[in-house]
Amino acid sequence: MPTQLTPRGIAKPWGVPSLPPALAGHAAGERTGEIWFEGDAAAPLLVKWLFTSERLSVQVHPDDAGARAIGLPHGKDEAWYVVAAAPGATIGIGIGGAPGREAVAAAARDGSIVDMMEWREVAAGDVLYVPGGTIHALGGGLQLVEIQQALDLTWRLYDYGRPRELHLAEGLAAARLAPFGANAPRRAIDPRRTARCEGGKFVIEELAGAWAGQIAGARGSVWLVALTDDGQLGDTAVAAGSVWRIDADTPASLAADARWLLAYAAPAADPARLAA
Q: What amino acid occupies position 229?
A: D
The 3-class SS string of 66-133 reads: HHHHCCCCCCCCEEEEEEEECCCCEEEEEECCCCCHHHHHHHHHHCCHHHHEEEEECCCCCEEEECCC
- Cβ–Cβ < 8 Å for 145, 225: yes
Q: What amino acid occupies position 247?
A: D
Q: How many angstroms separate the CA atoms of 38 and 119, rounded?
A: 31
CB atoms within 10 A of CB 258: 21
Mode of pairing for the β-strands spanning 272-274 and 243-246? unpaired
Q: What amino acid occupies position 251?
A: P
Catalytic residue among 156, 192, 193, 259: 156
The reply to whether 245 belongs to the active site is: no
Residue 137, helix vs strand vs coil: strand
Q: Which residues contact 71 (CB under 8 A, 6 or more apart)?
A: none
Q: What's the Cα-to-Cα distance from 241 to each of 47, 105, 146, 214, 244, rounded to whole Å?
A: 11, 39, 13, 21, 10
> Among all residues, which ones are annotated catalytic?
156
